Each structure stands twice: as C-alpha cells, then as structure tokens.
Amino acid sequence: MIFGRVLCLFNRHRPQRDKITWDGINYHSDCAHCGKRIYRRQGGGWRAMRVALITAKDPQAQ
C-alpha cells in the first residue's frame, strides 16, 4: 500500500468501490489509501476534493 500512498502525494487517488456515490454531477468516494474525499474527473482519474471552503469555517475561531 506504500506505492498507493506515493500516488496520493501526486493527487492520484484510488476510490473505495463500495463508497462511490453519484450526486448528479460527479462521482464521489473516499480514497482507499489516504482516506481523503475524492471525486472522479471527466476523462478519468480521481482527485482530492477542494475542502478549503469547509476548513475555513472554524466554529472555535470566535
């Protein structure tokens, strides 16, 4: 599994097949190696979700 994690560093992830869902626009899943939320790009390949909008809202900031 070390080889898979190396690919994760280059934002090339592998989906957990039993967690693949369809939201009407993209397929989503969790990476089988690093556990990140990922989505399937058109043309193939799984990339990590952009989560900046979620992490930017920290309820303990104030």
Beta carbon of residue 22, minimum distance to Zn ion (angstroms, whole number): 20
Stretch that binds Zn ion, among 7-15, 22-30, 49-57 (CB under 5 A): 7-15
Stretch that binds Zn ion, among 15-23, 31-39, 52-60 (CB under 5 A): 31-39
Quick check: 13 and 31 in contact, CB under 8 A?
yes
Comparing CA positions, the residue from 10, 6, 28, 11 lying closest to residue 19 is 28
Q: How many residues does the chain have?
A: 62
**Residue 33 or 39: which CB sits closer to Zn ion?**
33
Kindly state the number of chain residues that form the binding site for Zn ion, as judged by CB under 5 A. 5
